[in-house]
Amino acid sequence: MVEHRMVDVNGIRLHIAEQGEGPLVVLLHGFPESWHSWRHQFAPLAAAGFRVVAPDQRGYGRSDRPEDVSAYSILHLVGDVIGLIHALGEERAFVVGHDWGAPVAWHTALLRPDVVRGVAGLSVPPPFRGERPPLQAMRERFDGHFYWNYFNLPGAADAEFGKDTRTTLRKLLYGASGDSPTAGRYEQALVADLERGWLADSPDPETLPDWLTEQDLDELTDSFARGFTGALNWYRNLDRNWELTAPWHGAVVSPPALYMYGDRDLVPAFPGTPELIAALPRSMPNLVRDPIVLPGCGHWTQQERPAEVNAALVEFLTGLRG
């Protein structure tokens, strides 16, 4: 059974969900999600002999959400993971991330390989430091309409998303899923109308896809009862992260690694992302196998294809444990 508690980490309190005994596996969610996005992974990983812990990361769910925007930099987020591992009484752990959780997982492995036994990323490959600040690059490419830039307009996305939290989340989850008519086409799904908002023309399904229940949507809606600002602050650190990670420009992820994504996911279609995926053997020299591509799967990898994700994670983790 999944149990819940609060843990003090780096001067803030994080809510965690946990199950099982054995080597520690930390599961890191993305946007707009919570620990609940890993609901299908707890029992299989615990049954395979692992201690599974999924936090609400800072700014999300029941965890603390500092007011200072700069408190959401990649160094803070990696610090939370390392602090959580140690607060749980462990020296090392496996780290798995999806969406925004994937960059946190990759950077945890990059910055603290001594702590990471193995690292897996879902959807987002290592987005390591490019030649230009990311907000600037996307502003020039999409004339300021890319959703990263929209999220950086003071209060704009906060207000739009907060008008009707449940509808916002339903549109976001459906729109980036493999069931959406815009699946895999970022030009339509990820470019915002700066006057009408990002979700103005997003599809809103009459019935939820099979992988998402009304109860799941209830749980996620409750987790955003305090608004979206904490979560959006992650995007407001994209250029700051580019500056902070300058010392690691060109560095590689040395722990054993696994990457998987859906073939209808928006992220692999981002500008420059196919090149990142092709370069994985260089950026992750201990990649245990070629990237796993899940047919028909959209962005919400572990929710849309839990059986395939669980099988791949169990194989990866047990191989390294042994």
CATH value at residue 115: 3.40.50.1820
pLDDT of residue 187: 64
Mean pLDDT check: name the lowest of 3-7, 53-57, 199-203: 199-203
Q: What is the mean pLDDT of the chain?
A: 95
Helices (H) and strands (E) in the chain, counts: 15, 8
Structure tokens at 322: 């042994």
Give the residue numbers marked as catalytic.
99, 299
Number of domains the chain contains: 1
pLDDT of residue 49: 98
pLDDT in tens, 121-168: 999 999 778 889 999 999 999 999 999 999 999 999 999 999 999 999
Backbone angles phi, psi at 230, to 5 degrees: -60, -45
Distance of CA 194 to the CA centre of its chain: 25
Whether residue 105 is predicted with pLDDT greater than 90 in this model: the reply is yes
pLDDT in tens, 205-217: 999 999 999 999 9
pLDDT in tens, 22-66: 999 999 999 999 999 999 999 999 999 999 999 999 999 999 999
Give residue 149's domain range.
Answer: 3-321
Residues 6+ apart with CB under 8 A from 159: none
pLDDT of residue 185: 63
Mean pLDDT check: name the lowest of 81-95, 118-132, 215-229: 118-132
Maximum C-alpha span of the chain: 55
Confidence of residue 192 (pLDDT cuts 50, 70, 90): confident
pLDDT in tens, 235-261: 999 999 999 999 999 999 999 999 999
